Structure 1
Amino acid sequence: MALIKSISGIRGTIGGTVATNLTPIDTVKFAAAYGMWLKSQTNKEKLTVVVGRDARISGKMVSSLVCNTLVGLGINVNDIGLSTTPTVEVAVQMDGADGGIIITASHNPKQWNALKLLNGKGEFLNGEAGEKVLEIAKDDAYLFSEVDDLGNYRKKQGYINKHIKEVLALKLVDVEAIKKANFKVVVDAVNSTGGIAIPALLERLGVECIELYCEPNGQFPHNPEPLKEHLTDISELVVKEKAHLGIVVDPDVDRLAIVSEDGSMFGEEYTLVACADYVLGKTKGNTVSNLSSSRALRDITEKHGGNYQASAVGEVNVVELMKASDAIIGGEGNGGIIYPESHYGRDSLVGVALFLSHLANLKISCKELRDSYPSYFMSKNKIELTPEIDVDAILEQMAAKYSNEDVITIDGVKINFESEWVHLRKSNTEPIIRIYTESTSQVNADELAVRVINEIKEISK
């Protein structure tokens, strides 16, 4: 069981003891710290926060604690209920709210939940703001409102439909081309809120939708991280139904994976590549992804005459670099699409609409589209952390070992070789070291990963 406090929010397992798990006490503590930070940023008499949640079993309990804590601080709450991370982000903008909280642990298993914290732009807090929230929580520096000054609580509905309407209105979303393509699609929403949002979007796009695990009951039928080894059911169903493709989202719908018509994985990394290829083909500009993302985005960007840059891992870091470099699309290689024409947040609804627009315009199959891109292969591994492991020392030693190579240390250690790379970093959301490698074949990527893992184990003895 675990409780992870980071600048991006508070994440932990439900139950157990205070300060070591995400208990009701911890939930109230960090919701209050966020509310206090929000109040420190303005002189407004009354603030408003949008709260939404994914379909996790614990979601209703955690949401109730969060909402009532904010009310106790004198903050008005717009509770939009079952929602998606990008929908809450958009709702903050729609309501002109001062912030937002998303109750979701993203791709983590069902025993986990989290508070994801947004600013008044509907974007994740930056490092400085996140640190201040943690400081307030550490000092228990809360001041709750007297009875006449309590906030108002309102349930509000219809935001997923409002979000869909905004997606359909995007200039590059070619609704007519998608309708003419007569796509047949299988959707795996891991029994969370993607089961509400994605089929509704596809219906508006005239796409035939076959639903797999789209009941938003929080009972995840498989590991909710949209990786190949977890997606055998949809791969088989796509082939059986002779569908054009499969669409997979994680529980809070900010990661998008595609399955080709033959049941093969299009590749999480290539979701962003395909969407960027489409956008860059229509609008000249730059792109950004993080250090753990495929070189394929760089290749596609340069093909279209744009400039590619890599940020530290984390959505807020990608967004900051996108703004600084005037990037017109970006995201993370885990299937997260950030399209500023909509908003600065990973959004699977936007990703689906852009991907289908691209496919409909090209009039080729999903597999043909994947085969048209540079072939890079990734291996994603992790090492479980124990208290005695000095991760920083290990990373320093690995950087020194490969000092003759192109080494980047802005976020862990990334070692660039001529035709492959490895990125080592501590996870912000789990007690692990992530080890990502990429090469020109799966065998080479796997072998590089094994070599590096063995080197780390030798160092940590």
Structure 2
Amino acid sequence: MTLIKSISGIRGTIGGRVGDNLTPIDAVKFAAAYGVWLKRQREKDSYKVVVGRDARISGKMIQNLVMNTLVGQGIHVVNVGLSTTPTVEVAVPMEHADGGIILTASHNPKQWNALKLLNDKGEFLDGDDGAEILKIAESDDIVFADIDSLGKITKNDAYFDLHIIEVLDLPLVNVKAIEAERFKVVVDGVNSSGGIAIPLLLERLGVHVVKLYCEPNGHFPHNPEPLKEHLTDISKKVVEEHADFGIVVDPDVDRLAFIDENGEMFGEEYTLVACADYVLSRTPGNTVSNMSSTRALRDITEKYGGKYEASAVGEVNVVKLMKKNKVVIGGEGNGGIIYPELHYGRDALVGVALFLSLLADKKMSVSELRKTYPSYFMSKKKIELTPQLDVDGILKTIEKRYQNEQLTTIDGVKIDFPDRWVHLRKSNTEPIIRIYTEAKSQEEANALADEFIEEIRAIAGI
């Protein structure tokens, strides 16, 4: 079992020993550290934090612990209950709150949960702020409020609707055109909050919704990471229902993948490519994704006369570069759409609305749309870490071996060959090394990944 403390928050498995897992004591300690950090940002009479959760079985327990810890620090809490990560991000500035906490372990299995921490803009904390919170958590600087200064909890169930209204009000979301197409869509909500939010959005857009695993009970019916091997049920359902396409989200609804009308994956990497195609066609500009994302976004951006740049992996890194480059759309190749016109956070709801607007405009099937984009194929593999594995040493060795190739080392090692690339990095959220590759065919991408896995094993002697 595992507890991972990082600048983006604290993530771990439920149960077990304090300090080794995400126990109630660990949840309270890190929530309190966040409260202390929040008060250090500026001195004022009262503070407010928005708190929401996905549908994980442990969600209510962890949320109650977190909320009441903040109350004990004299911080007022807006409880948005069952929610999505982007919904909480939208709620923070709407509430004029000082920050937000989302209780979700994103794509991790049901035994995991996490505290994701936001600033007063509803954006993830940067590295310095995250490091300060980790330091506070291990210090004696946590002080609680007296009896007359306790915070209060206010419940607000309106934010699914408010979030959807914000999406529908975006100038590029063509509600009338989408309604006219009378789309039929299957939604896999992996029995979490996406099973509520995505159908609500689609119904507002006049889409006929077929629900699959949309009961928010936290019992994930398959591995919640939206990868091809986990999505056989929705692939069958789309074909059986003669649907136009399928929508898949992860438990906290910041990742988005599509299934075409034939039950085939549109490609999680191409979620951002398609949405960027639509946005760039109407508002030309620059784009950003991370180093592990497809080259197709670069190709589409340059087609419209814009500039593409890659950041280190991690939403906070993507957002930082997006702001610097004043981009019109960006995100991550794992199906994470960041549309600054709404907010700087990965948002499956805005991704769905932009994709539907694109389909309504193009008047073609999802499989036909996919054929209009540059054809790249990606392999995403990983190696489990062990205490004996010197990851940094391995990456240094790889770097030396390929020093005559085009290298980027801001986040692990990325090697850009003329017609393919490989990116090797330590995960920030799991004890693994990720090996991402991309090439002109799936066979070539898989072979490249396997080649580097064997090379890593040889270097490590495993």
Residue type of the partner of 1:382?
K
Per-residue CA deviation, residues 26-54 of structure 1 (Å, 9 max, x unaligned), is: 00000001110000001111110000000
**Cα deviation per residue 1:364-404 (whole Å; 9 max; x = unaligned)?**
00000001100000000000001111111111111111101
TM-score, normalised with respect to structure 1: 1.00
Q: Distance in 1 between matches of 2:32 and 2:413?
A: 35
Could you tell me how far apart the structure 1 residues matched to 2:72 and 2:154 are?
A: 14
Aligned-partner Cα distance in 2 for 1:157–1:44: 27
Larger deviation: 138-147 or 166-175? 138-147
Matches for 1:351-370 after TM superposition, within 5 Å: 351-370=351-370
Matches for 1:122-271 after TM superposition, within 5 Å: 122-271=122-271
- Give the 5 Å matches for 1:380-395: 380-395=380-395
- What is the CA distance between 1:257 and its match in structure 2? 0.2
Query: Could you tell me which amino acid in structure 1 is paired with residue 322 of structure 2?
Result: M
* Alpha-carbon distance in structure 2 between the residues aligned to 1:309 and 1:402: 22
Whole-angstrom distance in 1 between the partners of 2:43 and 2:213? 46
Following the alignment from structure 2 to structure 1, what is the Cα–Cα distance between the partners of residues 401 and 2?
33
Q: Which amino acid aligns with 1:283?
A: T
Give the C-alpha shift of residue 140 in structure 1.
3.8
Any idea what the Cα deviations from partners look like across 1:146-192, whole Å, max 9, x if unmatched?
A: 11111111111110010000000000000001001110000001000
Corresponding position of 1:377? 377
Q: Distance in 1 between matches of 2:404 and 2:140?
A: 47
**DSSP-derived class of the 2:453 partner:** helix
Aligned ranges for residues 13-412 of structure 1 at < 5 Å?
13-412=13-412
Matching residue's letter, 2:296: A
Deviations 1:186-243 (A, max 9, x none): 0001000001100000000000000000000000000000000000000000011110
Identity %: 70
Q: Within 2, Cα distance between the matches of 1:28 and 1:134?
A: 13
Tell me by how many angstroms 1:99 deviates.
Answer: 0.0
| Residue in structure 2 matched with residue 7 of structure 1 by the alignment | 7
Taking the aligned partners of 1:59 and 1:295, their CA distance within structure 2 comes to: 37
> In 1, Cα distance between the equivalents of 2:101 and 2:68?
13
The residue type paired with residue 83 of structure 2 is S
Residue 244 of structure 1: how far off its partner (Å): 0.3
- The amino acid that maps onto 1:314 is G
Cα distance in 2 for partners of 1:165, 1:90 equals 11
Mapped to 2, the partners of 1:12 and 1:400 lie a distance apart of 35
Question: Structure 2, unaligned stretches of length 5 or more?
Answer: none
Cα distance in 1 for partners of 2:409, 2:311 equals: 11
In structure 1, C-alpha distance between the alignment counterparts of 2:454 and 2:254, rounded to whole Å: 33
Aligned-residue CA RMSD (Å): 0.5
Amino acid at match of 2:117: L
Task: Tell me how far 1:141 sits from its aligned partner.
Answer: 2.1
Q: Which runs of 5+ in 1 are unaligned?
A: none
Alignment partner of 1:381: what SS? Answer: strand
Q: Deviations over 1:393-429 (max 9, x none)?
A: 1111111111010010000100100000000000010
The one-letter code matched in structure 1 to 2:366 is C
SS in 2 for 1:327: coil
Find the aligned partners of 1:302 and 1:404 in 2 and give their Cα distance. 27
Cα deviation, 1:314-348, whole Å, max 9, x if unaligned, reads: 00000000000000100000000000000000000
Match of 2:328, SS?
Answer: strand
Aligned partner of 1:450: which letter? D
Task: Tell me by how many angstroms 1:107 deviates.
Answer: 0.2
TM-score normalised by L of structure 2? 0.99
- Which letter does structure 1 place at the counterpart of 2:388? E
Residue 259 of structure 2 aligns with an amino acid whose one-letter code is V
Question: Matches of 1:41 and 1:381 in 2, distance apart?
Answer: 40
- The runs of 4+ residues in structure 1 deviating greater than 3 Å are none
